[in-house]
Amino acid sequence: MASFARSACRSRLSLPIFQRCGISTTAMARNEATSTVGNIQVQKKPVGGFRGGVVGFLFGFSLASSLAAYHLLDEYQKASAALQASVEELKISTENVTVHVRRIEAVEKDLKALSDASATKEDISRVRTEVKKLYDGLHIEFLDLRAHVWGIQQDLHKLSEKDSTEVRI
């Protein structure tokens, strides 16, 4: 009896679920139910070529636009940084030129003061002429003085000879 129960149980398991549960239907409904139950088809929404192309185009265009905007912003930042560095270099260079100009102005001022304080060639030649005249005049006076002293020596020598020839008692 146990083997009969097992075979009955096995035969029930091989039957479709509605027959196992004891639901009775007509033969035609049973055949339709068994044929459609095994093959359930999922309805897909057809994606048309045009709609898929437009979506793909918009996605690609937005991706390309985003990348282009990113690269453009990156290039703008690089150019801005380079321009800022150039402006800083120009500022430093301008300050250096200003310092050099101030030095040149100071040197020109000192040069003007020196040129005002220094003598010209005409002044030097005039002073040289005056010094020559003074030197010549002093030399002449020196020679006159020397001649006068020589004369006094001669007179003194003559007087001393006269005095030495006389005998004094």
Q: How high is the mean pLDDT of the chain?
A: 81
What are the structure tokens assigned to 111, written together? 């040069």
Judged against a pLDDT cut of 60, whether residue 12 lies above it is answered with: no
Burial of 33 by CB count in 10 Å (0-12 exposed, 13-18 middle, 19+ buried)?
A: middle
To 5 degrees, how large is the angle CA 134–CA 138–CA 141? 140
pLDDT computed for residue 26 by the predictor: 61
Judged against a pLDDT cut of 60, whether residue 89 lies above it is answered with: yes
Q: Rounded to whole angstroms, how far apart are CA atoms 138 and 8?
A: 168
The model's pTM is 0.40
Q: Rounded to whole angstroms, how far apart are CA atoms 146 and 4?
A: 181
For residue 167, give the 3-state DSSP assignment: coil
Q: Rounded to whole angstroms, how far apart are CA atoms 127 and 118?
A: 13
